[in-house]
Amino acid sequence: MKNNISEFFRRGLIACGMGPVILAIVYMMLQRFELVDTLTVNEVCIGIFSLSALSFIAGGMNIIYQIERIPLMLAIFIHGGVLYISYLATYLLNNWLVWGVTPILIFSGIFVFGYFVIWAVIFCITRKNTKKLNDILKQKHNILKGN
C-alpha cells in the first residue's frame, strides 16, 4: 500500500507540470474566440492552482490499475468517478461551466462519451498488442518444442 501511495504522488507530480500549459492553451482558445479578453490575477491564480491539482490527480489516479486486489471494472469506475468529480469541480471553480442542471448534464454526457471512447481505443490497442505477444510466445514455444 505504501508503494502505491508513493507511486501516486510520483505520477501526480510528473503530470501536474502540464497543468499550467493546459491552462495557457485554454485561455488562448477563450481569447481567440473572444470569450475573454482580460483576466484578473485571481482568475489566473485559481486557474493555475486548479489545473495543476487536476493534472496531479489525473496523473496519479492511473496507479489504481496497478492494484491487483481491485477488479478491473471497479478500478475503471473509481478512476472515472474521481476524474469526473475533479474535472467538474475544476470547470465550475474556473467558471468555464455555468452552474445549472442542463450545463452539468451536458458536461456529464460529454465526459462519459469521451471516457468511453478513450477506453475503447485503449482496449483495442491492448487487445491487438496482447495478440501479437501471444503469437510470438506461441512461436517461441513451438521452436523450443521442436515443431
- Tell me, what's the pLDDT at 141? 86
Nearest CA to 43 out of 93, 117, 108 is that of: 93
74-129 pLDDT, tens digit each = 999 999 999 999 999 999 999 888 899 999 999 999 999 999 999 899 889 999 99
Q: Is the pLDDT of residue 18 over 90?
A: no
Residues 107 and 143 in one domain: yes
> 15-24, 57-66, 67-76, 122-131: which range is least confident on average?
15-24
Is pLDDT above 80 for 13? no
Model pTM? 0.75
57 and 120 fall within a common domain: no
pLDDT of 1 above 70: no
User: Nine-digit cell at 85?
Assistant: 468529480
Same-domain status, 71 and 104: no
Dist CA 66 CA 72 (whole Å) = 10
Same domain, yes or no, for 104 and 131? yes
More confident residue, 51 or 19: 51
Tell me the helices (H) and strands (E) count for the chain, helix number first. Answer: 5, 0
Q: What is the pLDDT of residue 147?
A: 59
- Would the pLDDT of 47 be above 80? yes
Q: Kindly state whether residues 17 and 48 are assigned to the same domain.
A: yes
pLDDT of residue 144: 82
Average pLDDT along the chain: 87
Same domain, 77 and 139: no
Residues 73 and 89 in one domain: yes
- Identify the domain boundary among 97, 117, 134: 97
**Same domain flag for 53 and 27:** yes
Q: Inform me whether the pLDDT recorded for 64 exceeds 80.
A: yes
Into how many domains does the chain fold?
2
Domain encompassing residue 76: 1-97
Same domain, 136 and 67: no
What span, in angstroms and rounded, lies between the C-alpha atoms of 84 and 61?
A: 12
Q: Are residues 78 and 146 in the same domain?
A: no
How would residue 44 be classed by pLDDT, with cut points 50, 70 and 90? confident
- Is 44 in the same domain as 33? yes
Predicted confidence (pLDDT) at residue 40 exceeds the cutoff of 70: yes
